[in-house]
Chain A
């Protein structure tokens, strides 16, 4: 990956295309976690692609590409989320966007509980558990202190615990590793 990023920084368009294609699934899943709507998530990913292409030469360290592009994506998605919230506020006849699962937690109650977390909690849960990012990386991506990330994670888990208190999770599930 690092070589491809270096090539992309040198203006190699095919290399850039290849990196993006590798990143699209994760970018889309993160965008979905925030926006909970496929069309909006697609738009956020596409905007991220354009923005990253315009700015890749500013990336200082190629090994930071993924963190860097996720940061761009989250900014795009958050901004889309805010705009959409305004639209909903002004026009209450619009339907809530339909949520489409991008992560399977093997338990419908937990899936629903995560999907219904507020944006801040949902985002840290997604980045930490589903994208295997470190606290430090999440802090960088979200531009918040590491302590805040830890606090949000802890709070999110306690909300999930509360919501699921009457629906115990299975202790073990076969074949459910990260893909």
Chain B
């Protein structure tokens, strides 16, 4: 009987859900506003704000806008510009400037998608059923043969190739081995593995430490979670994403606890267990580091030239950005842009277009810090 119950439960058939649920969700989605990314860092010191303001004035009146300097304006996809409550929301291409075939291909694809299946009747009819469309086309959001034909038409027209198969990586080592460029991100940045396409385009995410309060102990391998021992246990507060927090051990300590009270989550056996913390860094030091230090997350996108990519980035109004060019420590000049909530590093290399989307703006991540971050990238290693 028990086996039969197991079997019956395992064979449960999912019943289709009614359209009214989809309609309600669609209504919610329609009313969601474009969000601004959360600011991860505390406000900068007055000293830094003053330096940044002085530098901004200098840059705006200096050589920042040289005659043939490409700015965000040349990346904006105008057909994706929307207005909401008087605010302008814009998307930019991460493939190349407006004169590139990669940009033109993206714009043509976006315009096609915006005009195709506008009432979503085809998509709704398909639901969760298999479309039979090859995965390499599904990356672009294609769900009908007509969309596949359009993709083929675009890549032929602009002389591009498809992204190819996408492979996500579980470990940073595997990921770095796949993209084989060596350590171009330096040691002061923590990266989490991402995914790479067959044709060379790749993306990963990471965290930047606050440069003036960097705490090596924190970066070198600890994340600390405090909990209230009267109501929960470490097991209770362990979250799935904790396993992936830089791939580093997560220490749990009760509020007011000492080194002896701390335990470390260990999932190496496949089961969640906790072992006593025997690290060589005092919990108090890590606590201070976490209190004083914050991390800013970033996303790094490397788009191989000659490849048709579908990605675009929401930046709100490009006119809100201060833009300047900057020669990094590796000798390559990049374009930097910063608004109050976002910073961008953009560089066109021989074989790729690279964008770094930093989820921290001028309120907490100063211009010198953005430049310092750009300096940690050895772009000469990226072919």
- Interface, chain A (partner B; CB < 8 A): 2-3, 6-7, 9-13, 16-18, 20-22, 24-26, 28-29, 38, 41-42, 45-46, 49-50, 53-54, 57-61, 63-64, 67-68, 71, 101-107, 110, 114, 125, 129-130, 136-137, 139-141, 143-146, 157, 160-161, 164-165, 168-171, 173, 176-179
Contact = CB atoms under 8 A, between A and B. Distances in A.
B260 interface: no
Contacts of A130: 9, 12, 14
B241 A161 contact: no
A68 to B, nearest CB: 7
Nearest to B124: A21
Contacts of A13: 32, 34, 314
Contact of A11 (B26, B166, B313): B313
B29 interface: yes
Interface in B226-240: 233, 235-240
Contacts of B32: 13, 16, 49-50, 53
Interface of B: 1-2, 4-18, 20-22, 24-26, 28-29, 32, 34-35, 37-38, 91, 123, 127-128, 139, 141, 166, 168, 192, 194-195, 203, 205, 233, 235-241, 244-245, 270-272, 297, 299, 311-315, 357, 359
**Chain B interface mostly helix, strand, loop or mixed?**
mixed
Nearest to B233: A145
B25 A24 contact: yes
Contact of B14 (A21, A25, A53, A137): A25
Contacts of A104: 12-15
A104 B297 CA distance: 44
Contacts of B29: 16-17, 20, 49
Contacts of A146: 271-272
A161 B2 CA distance: 6
Contact of A103 (B13, B139, B271): B13
B6 A157 contact: yes
Given A7-B311, A42-B24, A160-B5, A173 B11 contact: yes
